[in-house]
Amino acid sequence: MRIRVINPNTTQSMTDLVEAAARNVAGPDVTIEAVTSGCGPASIEGHYDDAMACIGLLEEIRKGEQDGVDAYVIACFGDPGLDAARELARGPVLGIAEAAMRAATFVATGFSVVTTLSRTVVIAEHLVTRYGVHGHCRAVRATDIAVLDLENPESCAYQKILDECRRALAEDRCGAIVLGCAGMADLCERLSKELGVPVIDGVSAAVVMAEALVRMGLNTSKHGDYARPLPKSYQGILAPFAPRE
Ligand code: 2AL
């Protein structure tokens, strides 16, 4: 089974981190193919970045369909382009925010999300509404660490995230923590041990769930709105992305 894990930002070091997390949970017969978007923002931390990242992401889905990939993971907590990706793909496509939030509901009645910059909080809150988990999500908390600073030891990212998780557990009545960025995947195990509660990394959750769906023989429905995009002409710089027969 081939699962393509797409980092929709253009930072290769983040793809490497995500790839390691994905390989760590994948079953023995699963090949993880981690790819970095070929165009777009270096990190995704706002609505504009989110929108601009979709083209590169969808291009990777298009290539994956030509290559016969079985399932995809979109490794960014805004789940950019998720519905559009599902229109293009035959197999399942999982976003890490959706996978992490749903995983959290199996192990706690309430979870809090601990994410990067404050400006990304609304994006996660919109996803909570979209996925219908507002009855489970107690809070979305920012650490004010920029995505690319997660890799910078001088940002003290681990300590800031640990402190925010502790505040969430003390103040939010949550039993689990959802990590609000793919770049936090490498911190998950350590945080979980130190906090003594389930800490959910969306990359791991999405890989395991994608694998389960493929094993169940479930593909993305092509009946209705996830049917292939209708062929038509696109103008200007988007002309090459026009859907074809
Ligand atoms: C993310 C993420 O997972 N990757 C990225 O570039 N931005 N999410 C976030 N909340 O900052």
Best residue among 44, 118, 141, 203 to mutate for probing ligand 1's pocket (most ligand atoms within 8 Å of CB) is 44
Residues 126 and 78 occupy one common structural domain: no
Q: In terms of C-beta density within 10 A (0-12 exposed, 13-18 middle, 19 or more buried), how is residue 235 classed?
A: exposed
pLDDT of residue 84: 98
Residues 18 and 87 occupy one common structural domain: yes
Name which residue sits closest to atom 2 of ligand 1, judged by CA: 76
Rg (C-alpha) for the chain, rounded Å, is 17
pLDDT of residue 43: 98
Q: Which residues contact 152 (CB under 8 A, 6 or more apart)?
A: none
Does 79 sit in the ligand 1 pocket, CB within 6 Å? no
Does 201 sit in the ligand 1 pocket, CB within 6 Å? no
- What are the mean pLDDT values of the chain's consecutive 10-residue runs (245 residues total)? 98 98 98 98 98 98 98 98 98 99 98 98 98 98 98 95 98 98 98 98 98 98 98 97 92
- Supply the CATH number for residue 181's domain: 3.40.50.12500
Q: Where are the alpha helices (DSSP H) in 174-221?
A: 188-195, 202-215
Residues 66 and 134 occupy one common structural domain: no
pLDDT of residue 237: 96
Residues 175 and 209 occupy one common structural domain: no
Residues 151 and 197 occupy one common structural domain: yes
pLDDT of residue 245: 83
Name which residue sits closest to atom 9 of ligand 1, judged by CA: 181
Domain that holds residue 168: 97-201
Residues 86 and 182 occupy one common structural domain: no
Into how many domains does the chain fold? 2
CA of 244 to the centre of ligand 1 (A): 31
Best residue among 77, 114, 123 to mutate for probing ligand 1's pocket (most ligand atoms within 8 Å of CB) is 77
Give me the residue label for tokens 């995505």. Answer: 147
Residues 214 and 182 occupy one common structural domain: no
pLDDT of residue 151: 95
Residues 129 and 187 occupy one common structural domain: yes
CA of 147 to the centre of ligand 1 (A): 6
Residues 87 and 107 occupy one common structural domain: no
SS3 helix, strand, coil % of the chain, rounded to 5? Answer: 50, 15, 35
